[in-house]
Amino acid sequence: MEKNIKFPVIDLSKLNGEERDQTMALIDHACQNWGFFELVNHGLPYDLMVNIERMTKEHYKKHMEQKFKEMLRSKGLDTLETEVQDVDWESTFYLRHLPQSNLYDIPDMSNEYRLAMKDFGKMVENLAEELLDLLCENLGLEKGYLKKVFHGTTGPTFGTKVSNYPPCPKPEMIKGLRAHTDAGGLILLFQDDKVSGLQLLKDGDWVDVPPLKHSIVINLGDQLEVITNGKYKSVMHRVMTQKEGNRMSIASFYNPGSDAEISPATSLVEKDSKYPSFVFDDYMKLYAGLKFQAKEPRFEAMKNAEAATNLNPIAAVETF
């Protein structure tokens, strides 16, 4: 309970006033100690958020709920007798904004919903870039450093995962989304304003990220932990299922481009870094099979791959 009270909630509008230094310090503290924070007064229009939440719930009811129920039946999840460890109790679809939008390829979205998601995507992208620069400032990196690293040759990858976590008759048997860290860069989450479920791991305890109307939850992915040489943390989180209520969440992932070269920033490394250097896509290939495991073995595997390339550059070239 006490831990919930301390969960960092940051008023972004204070960056424009006397409390700027204090606010920057709160962001830095959250990045180092929580890997998560919740933003209020972030500049995203509330009426757009309210409309998107409504349309996401309507879209689920109209186009997704039936499919979700069929999925439950086909996977034998309609009767939960024992704990299920290999499936998530969620209904999702993905929108990609960058490098190329797939917004018009997604079936069953009304025009109004599509346009709202397009506007929202652009605004969240701008907020992500603003936040990356705040992180640079706190880290003593030049303005634009993170954006540049994420750019690669074709710009960042930016997409939105739209999820619904429907009510579950036996919440103790299955997670909405199993514990994981996010692979990418910065994640901006617009979560249900009433139904809770998101938890993060803090000093060995699961802590709720409580619903807060009109807020945006920010968390850092594995790439920011690597680039900051571990100063900032990518933190385990999960979604619990609930007996009552359908929780919606709209998670936008601002990630490096597929050929972006990721490595710890030189100014943040004292001697040798325990973090690897790699091409982002290679990390994603590894992550695909290991998402629901700890991040450390992933970092280690990339480090070993890097060492092998350095020891035997000819062989590495020949594999292409």
| Full DSSP string of 271-286 | S--SS--EEHHHHHHH
Query: Minimum distance from CB of 319 to Ni ion (Å)?
Result: 32
Nearer to ligand OGA, 157 or 249 (CB): 249
**Residue 27 near which of ligand OGA, Ni ion, none (CB within 5-8 Å, type-dependent):** none
The site that binds ligand OGA (CB under 6 A) totals a number of residues, namely 11
Question: CA nearest 299: which of 181, 204, 157, 211?
Answer: 181
Identify the residue whose tokens are 């069929």. 70
Q: Alpha carbon of 181 to those of 27, 121, 168, 298: distances in Å?
A: 19, 22, 24, 11
Shortest Å distance, C-beta 163 to ligand OGA: 5
Query: Min. distance of Cβ 282 from ligand OGA in angstroms?
Result: 20
Least distance to Ni ion from the beta carbon of 92, Å? 12
Q: Is 291 near ligand OGA (CB under 6 A)? A: no
- What angle is formed at CA 108 by the lines to CA 106 and CA 113, rounded to 5 degrees? 85
| Cβ atoms of residues 211 and 22 within 8 Å | no
Structure tokens at 216: 């945006």
Asked if 198 is part of the footprint of ligand OGA (rule: CB under 6 A), the reply reads yes
Does residue 218 interact with ligand OGA by CB under 6 A?
no
Cβ-closest position to Ni ion: 182
Strand 186-191 and strand 175-180: the pairing is unpaired
List the single partner that 198 binds among ligand OGA, Ni ion, none, CB under 5 to 8 Å by kind.
ligand OGA
What is the pattern of x (binds ligand OGA, CB under 6 A) and - over residues 219-238? ------------------x-
Q: Tell me whether residue 139 or residue 239 sits nearer to ligand OGA (CB atom).
A: 239
What is the footprint of ligand OGA within residues 238-267 (CB under 6 A)? 239, 249, 251
Q: Is 57:248 a contact under the CB 8 Å cutoff? A: yes
Within 8 A by CB and 6+ apart from 73, the residues are: none
Residue 180 is encoded by which pair of tokens?
């994981």
Kindly tell me which of 179 and 305 has the beta carbon lying closer to Ni ion: 179
CB nearer to ligand OGA: pick between 80 and 189: 189
Reading the block at residue 236, the tokens are 């385990």
What are the phi and psi torsion angles at 26 (to 5°)? -65, -40
Separation between Cα atoms, residue 237 and residue 172, nearest integer Å: 17
Q: For ligand OGA, which is the closer residue by CB, 139 or 251? A: 251
Q: Among all residues, whose Cβ is closest to ligand OGA?
A: 249
Which of 91, 160, 191, 234 is the binder for ligand OGA (CB under 6 A)? 191
Binding interface with ligand OGA (CB under 6 A): 161, 163, 177, 182, 189, 191, 198, 237, 239, 249, 251
